[in-house]
Structures are given as structure tokens and as C-alpha cells.
Amino acid sequence: MVPSLSASDDSSLSARDLLAADLHALARRCALGELAAGEVQATRAAVAAVMHQLGERGERGWWEQSGAGAERWRALAPFRGSANPIAPGLVIDPGGIRFEHRSDPDGHPTDVEDKSQHGKTQDAAIARLDAQITVGRLFAGPPGCVHGGVIAGLFDELFGALAQAMAGSGMIATATLSVRYHLPTPIDTALRFSARVSRSTPSRMKAQAECVADGNVTAKATALLVRRSRPVASSQ
């Protein structure tokens, strides 16, 4: 859940981040609050006044905006974008990507490269990325539970962040995503997402992840991510 913030809460947040947080809070209040008919009409009038003040202007995707790049993409990402008012607020751990070494059956670290049973070389170091989020009622499916589509989207966002961190540059796209739901995932509860790369080549990457709530694994996912030369942009 993205909290409503003011400039005094965190000086590191940009004005657009603060605006996004306020708009998210407004959406929660309007969608989930018990408003009288007069309050609904008054709110609509206030929103209309703001829209009139902003006037008509074109809408640009992150890749079309000035300063387009990884930072702008992250700011407007649909599940973690700090400047995206509809993002549920996935937060990638500030430590970023971590590397854990594979071990042999006796628990000893393997060499830098390890031959799989199929004879293909794979990295001995496992790349891992963690994230956390508390999903609010706007994203509920069954009573008290996060919508399954939101869980899938959060997995996809984390996989993309992991792949991008490893690739460094270039466009990474999800080719396949499979989610297994083990338990209902509760809303208004701190969730921990962990993703790791299971196999990587210069052109593609396989990864797996899990979602944990109150010490219980509620969902697991696997994905195949591939490198693309560039994003497919709309001509309109």
C-alpha cells in the first residue's frame, strides 16, 4: 500500500513521487470510503477543476519522455513505480542484486563454472533479488486476499528487475511466466518476494521466485526472460 506523503516525510522523493502518493491515497478514499452523495459530487467537481487547470496535453510513455532511460522506466513501472499513482508499491531491497555460490552435495562451493547433466555450462553463482510490499484493499480479489493477477504481476516485475540488473543494458522481455498459488495471499500484510536466476545465457535467462506472508509460502513462480533489441512502441 502506497502511503500519502508530504514533502517533510522524505526529502529524497521527487515532486512527482509525492503527487503519485497523494493520488493513490485519493483513489483509496474514493473507492473504499463510504461517501455520501454530496461528497461524491463535491469530489468530482474538485477533480474536474484540477483537470481544467492542467488543460489538454499529450500523454507520453516513459520511453517518449525527456530523460528517458532506466530511471524513468523504474519511476513509472506499473507495480513499483514511485511516480505511478496506480502502482501497488513493490519495493526492491536497497542492497540490490546478490550472488550466492552453488554448493556440491557436501556443502562446498563449486567452481566458477559447472557442467549441468545436459552438458551445458551454467554459472556457479546464483543471482538473487528480494522485494517487499504490503498490498492494500484496492488490489483485493477474494475477501481479505490479494487478487491472483496482482501476484502474477508482482512476480513479473521482480523477474524483470532481476534480469535487467544482470543484463545491465538492453531490453529484457518475459517470454513465459508460470505461477503456482499454494495459499491465499492476505492483504494488509507484509509480503516478502524473493527471486533468483536458475540458468543464464547471453540471450535468455530462467528464474524462479516465491512470495512469503507470515512465514508461509503463498505462491511460487518460474519465468523465461529473453533479450530484445528494442521495445515495441506505439505509432499513435
Q: What is the CATH number of the domain that holds 98?
A: 3.10.129.10
In a shared domain, residues 95 and 211:
yes
Instruction: Please give the model's pTM, rounded to 2 decimal places.
Output: 0.81
- pLDDT tens by residue, 92-132: 998 878 887 655 555 544 433 333 333 333 444 578 999 99
- pLDDT tens by residue, 2-30: 433 443 445 456 899 999 999 999 999 99
51: pLDDT confidence band, cut at 50, 70 and 90? very high
Contact 219, 211 (CB under 8 A): yes
Enclosing domain of residue 134: 88-228
In a shared domain, residues 106 and 192:
yes
In a shared domain, residues 116 and 193:
yes
pLDDT exceeds 60 at position 75: yes
Tell whether 8 is covered by a domain: no
pLDDT at res. 111: 38
Give the residue from 46, 63, 80 where a domain finishes: 63
Tell whether 71 is covered by a domain: no
Task: Provide the number of structural domains found in the chain.
Answer: 2
The alpha carbon torsion through 169, 170, 171, 176 (nearest 10 deg) reads -80
Tell whether 131 is covered by a domain: yes
Secondary structure string (H, E, C) spanning 192-235: EEEEEEEEECCCEEEEEEEEEECCEEEEEEEEEEEEECCCCCCC
Question: What is the chain's alpha carbon radius of gyration, rounded to the nearest angstrom?
Answer: 21
In a shared domain, residues 50 and 94:
no
In a shared domain, residues 209 and 100:
yes
Tell whether 195 is covered by a domain: yes
Q: Residue for cell digits 454530496?
A: 38
Percent over 90 (pLDDT), the chain = 58
